[in-house]
Chain A
Amino acid sequence: MWYFSDEHRMLQETVRQFSQTVLAPRIETLDEKEGFHREAFPKMGELGLLGITVPEADGGAGLDAVAATLTMEEMGAVDASTTLSYLAHTILCVNQISNNGSPEQKKKYLPKLISGEHIGGMGMSEPEAGSDALGMKTKAEKKGDHYILTGTKTWITNGPDGEVFYLYAKTGPGRKDVSTFLIEKGMAGFSAGKKFSKMGMRASPTSELILNDVKVAATQRVGEEGGSIKQMMRNLDLERITIAGISLGIARASIEYATKYATERKAFGKPIGAFQQIQERLAEASAWYEACRCLTYDAAAMWDRGLLTGKAASTMAAKAKLQSAQMATQVALDAIQILGGYGYTREFPVERYMRDAKLIEIGAGTNEIMRLVIARQLLGEAADA
């Protein structure tokens, strides 16, 4: 984008090279076997990617939302699965500890998360509370100097492999009585639950988190009791902007692959790119991608300049994610179509692009929830009348 700083451009180059050399060689097998590229994390740590939004004083790179988003796009163009795990680690866990943790909590958790020795994740959704996040039922009951946590979280990216989870639970009977706890692997009564087998994003492990009377010291609570809603929602906005970056990466890779194919593949004596049906698909894809790119990086740049707060942030983030996610699925579907039979085989990456792209229409808030957020801002109280 024209407003990228030199630092952004250098970062882009670094991530591009990292993705090509570290991620590209392994993603095909990891996707097939539902593996996890854990070894990539210490390498991201060395490049300063894991604490990308964390202030330098706390050991981070001190960069902004634009930097995080372009990292998602560059990595997402090669390996969306590992990028999704990177997002859960960096935006949902590390960024939240950095923003809301006490000095002690930061000192305890950030170093190993930022180096990549530990993998982080976040726990919000539950089997009966997906789109309706505040309907969560996981309870944290205060007992003297500790809490007892009980409940089941689901759709947890990095669930099976993570060491630290930034986890939301109810500390009261109301919808808004939400508090945050730092949960560690190995705590008695805490386990990862079943791992899901998925259509795409298969190299990003997803599982439940089961809390069976887990005793957690009160010092593990982040922020005030019952005071988590605001920071939870605000971080969802940042998640939505940055995950749109993954959609951009998938779409860009799809367009590049299909375009190259359309120049090389011949039918009826000419490259198939000479046919207007193919031209139309590529032209539409390219225009839609560019529009989403503007929307997403604008949201990130506005966020960085403090121009997006409260409902404006939620709406802009929802618009960026809604469009980018839908765009990427359609563009990847079209890439398969342009490659024809070859596109349907696993010898070419476009079918993986499509399987991965679909997730972003569901994760981090479904398209339906994005529309609801936008409609509420447009219609005010009338939207819920």
Chain B
Amino acid sequence: MSQHGADSSEVIQELRALTRKFVERELAPLVDADEREGRFRPEIIQGLGALGLTGIPMDPTYGGSGLGYQEYCAVIEEIARVNAGYAVSVAVTGLPQMILSNFGSNEQKEKYIPLLASGAAVGAFSLSEASSGSDAASLRTTAKREGDSYVIHGTKLWTTQGDSARVIVVMARTGEPGPKGISTFLIDREKEVAGFRLGKREHKMGLHTSHTMELVFDQCRIPASQRIGDEGNGFTIAMSALDSGRITIAATALGIASAALDLALSHARQREQFGQPIGAFQGIQFLLADRATELAAARLLVERAARLRDEGKPYSLEAAQAKLYATDMAMRVTTDAVQVLGGSGYTTEFPAERYMREAKVLQIVEGTNQIQRLVIGRALLGRLGEGSK
């Protein structure tokens, strides 16, 4: 099957083949029913972990594969071709690993990275709140230092896999209002955490195999050793996690779009109307040509951002551009895939309509596409890009 423009190293090709074989065999047969019933299976993450696919960019010292973001993106894309919910779950399990690897203490790294990198545990990242979404620095959940503990109080929203995650990285306010008063904490749910409970599970348009949770902290006391990095450094940590996360969300968009394009192409070859395959009509041909070109362009943007990150160079701007373009592209490709399949595309018997519902969320998560434009605008224009106040 074509990769729509993928041109990559042997390692990446092997990783793609390995991932594809696993998800086609273990996940694909379950997707329809699990999407309908909103079921998440931790054993899929464990299975991916057993193949070394859940800790791709982590240091082998901590059970990772010691590879880069280019390899990581290829794996996520392959998972997304079959089901975006699991691609997002793998990406989200990657965030605490990345945060710990960059900002955690040695004890924290040794204890938690191997758990997550092996797929034995699921990870989550909790930043948003009801009144603080795009404006993340205005978050209100507090963490008060009391001796050797912090007491966390507040409600977090939109936490992917908040229910099944053992390790949750949560941002809370330890000081002044604004970005400088935020710190990062690790909640370990191996045992029950007093004062922590799961709130409602969001009922969403799509991505049903990935649960989206409200988390409630009611005077929740955790040891001070569970703070990651310095006090007041939380916003920096969150933003660096989001920079990385944007690349993986863009990779998820590539996977959905490439599956949707393949489906539309196969339908255009097989479906006959007016005595010929509908792919013979320019109305269909040109639509497919435009979407395939956009997919190839998006792939280059994603690869560029991943490569810069792998080379240790700045990549915030490039990650935002990749996320913005790839997710908008996926929305167009999936919408057109429904269109090419016509009435069939609108039914749940074909995955086109699911791809379309999945693509939409990618324009919202990891910073809405409005926020990506803001990031890009500021990078281009400097202080001027901050806009009028």
Interface residues of A (CB under 8 A from B): 125, 128-132, 135, 154-155, 196-200, 266-269, 272, 275, 277-278, 329, 333, 336-337, 340-341, 343-347, 351, 354-355, 358-359, 361-363, 366-368, 371-372
State whether the Cβ of B265 lies closer than 8 Å to any Cβ in chain A. no
A363/B343 in contact, CB under 8 A:
yes
Query: What would 8 A/B residue contacts be, using CB atoms closer than 8 Å?
Result: A131-B273, A135-B274, A336-B364, A341-B202, A341-B365, A345-B202, A358-B335, A358-B346
C-alpha gap A196/B344 in the complex (Å): 9
Query: What residue of chain A has the Cβ atom nearest to residue B281's Cβ?
Result: A368
C-alpha gap A368/B370 in the complex (Å): 31
Chain A contacts of B135 at CB under 8 A?
A: 266-269
State whether the Cβ of B134 lies closer than 8 Å to any Cβ in chain A. yes
A131/B370 in contact, CB under 8 A:
no
18 additional A-B pairs beyond A267-B132, A340-B368, A354-B205, beta carbons within 8 Å, are: A125-B343, A130-B273, A131-B273, A131-B278, A132-B274, A267-B134, A267-B138, A329-B335, A333-B360, A337-B363, A340-B133, A340-B364, A344-B204, A344-B205, A347-B202, A358-B338, A358-B356, A366-B342
- Mostly helix, strand, loop or mixed at chain A's interface? mixed
A359/B203 in contact, CB under 8 A:
no
Contact among A272, A340, A345 for B204, CB-based, below 8 A: A345
**B130-169 vs A: 1/0 string, CB under 8 Å?**
0111110010000000000000000001100000000000
B343/A155 in contact, CB under 8 A:
yes
State whether the Cβ of B373 lies closer than 8 Å to any Cβ in chain A. yes
C-alpha gap A355/B345 in the complex (Å): 12
Q: Which of A269, A346, A362 has the most CB of B within 10 A?
A: A362
Chain A contacts of B274 at CB under 8 A?
A: 131-132, 135
Interface residues of B (CB under 8 A from A): 128, 131-135, 138, 157-158, 202-206, 272-274, 278, 281, 283-284, 331, 335, 338-339, 342-343, 345-349, 353, 356-357, 360-361, 363-365, 368-370, 373-374
Q: Which of B204, B281, B343, B360 has the most CB of A within 10 A?
A: B343
Known: A267-B134, A351-B205. A154 touches B343 (CB 8 A): yes
Minimum Cβ distance to chain A for residue B299 (Å):
23
Query: What residue of chain A has the Cβ atom nearest to residue B338's Cβ?
Result: A358
C-alpha gap A363/B345 in the complex (Å): 11
Query: What residue of chain A has the Cβ atom nearest to residue B132's Cβ?
Result: A267
A361/B273 in contact, CB under 8 A:
no
A354/B360 in contact, CB under 8 A:
yes
Chain A contacts of B202 at CB under 8 A?
A: 341, 345, 347
Chain B contacts of A200 at CB under 8 A?
A: 346
The 4 closest A-B pairs by CB, nearest first: A199-B353, A267-B135, A351-B205, A132-B273
Minimum Cβ distance to chain B for residue A80 (Å):
13
Q: Which of A132, A341, A371 has the most CB of B within 10 A?
A: A341
A346/B205 in contact, CB under 8 A:
yes
B346/A343 in contact, CB under 8 A:
no
Contact among A131, A329, A341 for B157, CB-based, below 8 A: A341
C-alpha gap A3/B59 in the complex (Å): 71
